[in-house]
A and B are shown apart, each in its own frame.
Chain A
Amino acid sequence: AQTVTQSQPEMSVQEAETVTLSCTYDTSENNYYLFWYKQPPSRQMILVIRQEAYKQQNATENRFSVNFQKAAKSFSLKISDSQLGDTAMYFCATSSGSARQLTFGSGTQLTVLP
């Protein structure tokens, strides 16, 4: 079984500043993938960034980057130059390679303040 823990239920950041969302996970899989999803009030889950566990290089997508620490089973998301549109619920998730499904954390509500 896989578990994903997000220990920050809520966070806020000033517009244009940088914020880091934490995520830890547990899995028995050797080959797995990690994801961050964004869910705005519209409820649409939007893929922000993904990381392949066998790659040591941290994934980056424009203002979004991850700090992947495989030994510590940590997968944090850094948002640079925060924008008002970044306000949303953020979910960390890991794949189950053999079962082809995602296990989600409980989410972090991020509010970007003007």
Chain B
Amino acid sequence: EAGVVQSPRYKIIEKKQPVAFWCNPISGHNTLYWYRQNLGQGPELLIRYENEEAVDDSQLPKDRFSAERLKGVDSTLKIQPAELGDSAVYLCASSLDSRLYGYTFGSGTRLTVV
């Protein structure tokens, strides 16, 4: 069984440019999460999906960040325009029930904004 697949693995962009990250969760996992992990820190939740519905996006900076999960499967996270402070690792995770099983994480996308 394939794990959570994310792409790209690395991305370097200039500030003010747009960028998008893609995530394919584990088949059957209805819950999908996007986390941001700054250097030397723990991941912080950006948005949580239950199927195709965003049920918790309170930490998502909505002026520049957007996300979608079409058909309740794959998801994309977009930043437009990117700022220097957006440099981080963006992790996608999926779960059947995070309380019981925790998450299965992807390998993340390391974004560098220059």
Contacts and interface: CB of A to CB of B under 8 A. Distances in A.
B42 interface: yes
Nearest to A37: B102
Interface of B: 31, 33, 40-45, 48, 56, 89, 91, 93, 97-108, 110
Contacts of B98: 95, 100-102
B42 A100 contact: no
A41 to B, nearest CB: 11
A99 interface: yes
Contacts of A91: 42-43
Contacts of B40: 106-107
A26 B89 CA distance: 26
Nearest to B109: A43
Interface residues of A, number: 24
A99 B110 contact: no
Contacts of B107: 42-44
A101 B105 CA distance: 13
Question: Which 4 A-B residue pairings sit nearest by Cβ, starting from the closest?
Answer: A104-B42, A45-B105, A95-B99, A47-B102
Contacts of B100: 33
